[in-house]
A and B are shown apart, each in its own frame.
Chain A
Amino acid sequence: MIRKVAVPIAAIVVFLVLWELLVWINDWPNYVMASPSDLPAAVMKFWMLFLEMGWQTLWRTVIGLLIAIFVGVALGMIMGFWRIMREALYPLLVGFNAIPKATVVPIVALLFVGAHDFNTVMIAFMISFFPIAVSVSIGLSTLEPEYRDILRSLGASQSTIFWKIALPKTLPEFFGALKVSVTLAFIGTNLMEIVSPHGRGLGSLFDSGKTNSDYPLMFAVLIALAFLGIVLYYVVVVLENIFAGWAEREPS
């Protein structure tokens, strides 16, 4: 248990030391690259803003992610159960996923002018639902027919088969995809925050650091984003352990 916490923390410390060394050896000024020792001052200067903007980024990411889970699971179920829907939807989804979301941001911003929260949530959702839809559909469509037969031969209904077998069996794939989606959703939220000038979220704090040539602030925002990303990621890990912990084999 101690090892589980100590090892990652030690790794982070080593990383920060190497970063500090890199800046120190090259004698970079902080407008080329800020060093970790510049960051506490940058955060302290605007700590109220960090809290406020961090919260805005966090809740919009989480809402976007929740919508992505809902829509992704629904799409995955449709594609997993009906082959014709899979054949119909796959190319569409792949094409949609291939479009860089940075190009979608201005379109969405123009489409719903002024609805900043809504737009941000939309982008977070759009960028993150794809892995969930794909994994759920693959999980459901690769269910071995014997699993179905075992329950069907007892007279079980389709919904019983879904709840007792298909759903739990898909959970490991679902959580694998969710870990990817969590970080993607952050990228989506920040894209919107940086590109559209509404002054909300860590993205806009980053942007104001840029316009004011406050380089340590920009780096501090990056670290804050990384921190939020880690927190959300581990929330997913905890949920995974609760709901799909059985998929983890004991180390032998």
Chain B
Amino acid sequence: MNCCGPREGPASTKFESITAASLSGLIDIRDVTHAYVTESGPLPVLRDLSIAIPEGGFVAVVGPSGCGKSTLTRLIAGLMKPDSGEVWLHGEKVTSPRSTVGMAFQNPVLLEWRSILKNVMLPLEIVPTTLTRREQEERARKLLSLVGLDGFEDKRPSELSGGMRQRASLCRALVHQPNVLVLDEPFGALDAFTREDLWMTMHNLKAEEPFTGVMITHDLRESIFLADQVVVLSGRPATTQHVMDVPSTGPRVLDDLYTPEAAERLNILRRQIEIAQGRAPADAGGTVS
């Protein structure tokens, strides 16, 4: 209930204290500029974008549609290289995909021909692991039980609802114990109630399996509920337009979203999005944070 205290307030969770302590992030995006080559010339999507996320931090990236948010996730995952600027993970420059990253998308992309358990274990077949076959299976089962999917291990993805599939997809993203979790609108296709369930699941997962994460989202409530920092990107080409810290003083509950503080945060973010969309002048932004 009291999660939305003033920004300068004492950091009380583990993640907060690390935020204060570390100077350079576990995920460090430095001055990244990127343009796509199209038939009608280069299409710049990112311009001098910098984001630093400390270990254990969870950052939500919001911005207008088509502003290059998904490009950002592909850069962090090493699936593409920026035209200029650098992406660093754990003090190493990202030049190619690395197994220390887990990814989940809006589309859960489960393999229909595998059981849920085998889907979750997929990364362990690719990433080098010291776990025995049995330990791998135990780890997958543990994760599935964490997200409330006990009893569904042997089902096919087509037998599960959209929310359950997304839960399984989160397990797959975490099974190889990545340092970094990259989520690209993971709950975008779910209905509002299922989405709220999944938010709670995310908090549970984070408590049990700490990770550093970036999440792209279009849902401002989701951003302030899940993240400890919200980054608003400008319109294309995207650069950091606004950064809002969302400190928490205890485990978050859904009621936190219905407090005056939350309303004020949402208002500021909405205004920032309008500016990014070019629908409001730049000086219309809120003064808080």
Contacts and interface: CB of A to CB of B under 8 A. Distances in A.
Interface of A: 144, 146-147, 149-156, 160, 164-165, 168-169, 171, 244, 246-247, 249-250
B126 A165 contact: no
6 contacts: A146-B109, A152-B97, A153-B79, A154-B101, A155-B99, A247-B112
Nearest to A160: B126
A165 B111 contact: yes
Contacts of B105: 146, 149-150
Contacts of A144: 107, 109
Nearest to B104: A150
Contacts of A171: 113
Contact of A153 (B77, B113, B159): B77
A149 B156 CA distance: 21
B15 to A, nearest CB: 24
Contacts of A244: 113
Interface residues of B, number: 27
Contact of B97 (A146, A153, A169): A153
Do most interface residues of chain A lie in helix, strand or loop, or is the interface mixed? Answer: helix
B127 A149 contact: no
A154 B182 CA distance: 12
A152 B80 CA distance: 11
Interface of B: 74, 77-79, 96-99, 101, 103, 105, 107, 109, 111-113, 122-123, 125-127, 156, 158-159, 172, 176, 182
Contacts of B127: 154-155
Given A149-B79, A155-B127, 8 more contacts: A149-B77, A151-B126, A153-B101, A153-B103, A154-B127, A164-B122, A246-B112, A247-B113
Contact of B98 (A146, A155, A250): A155
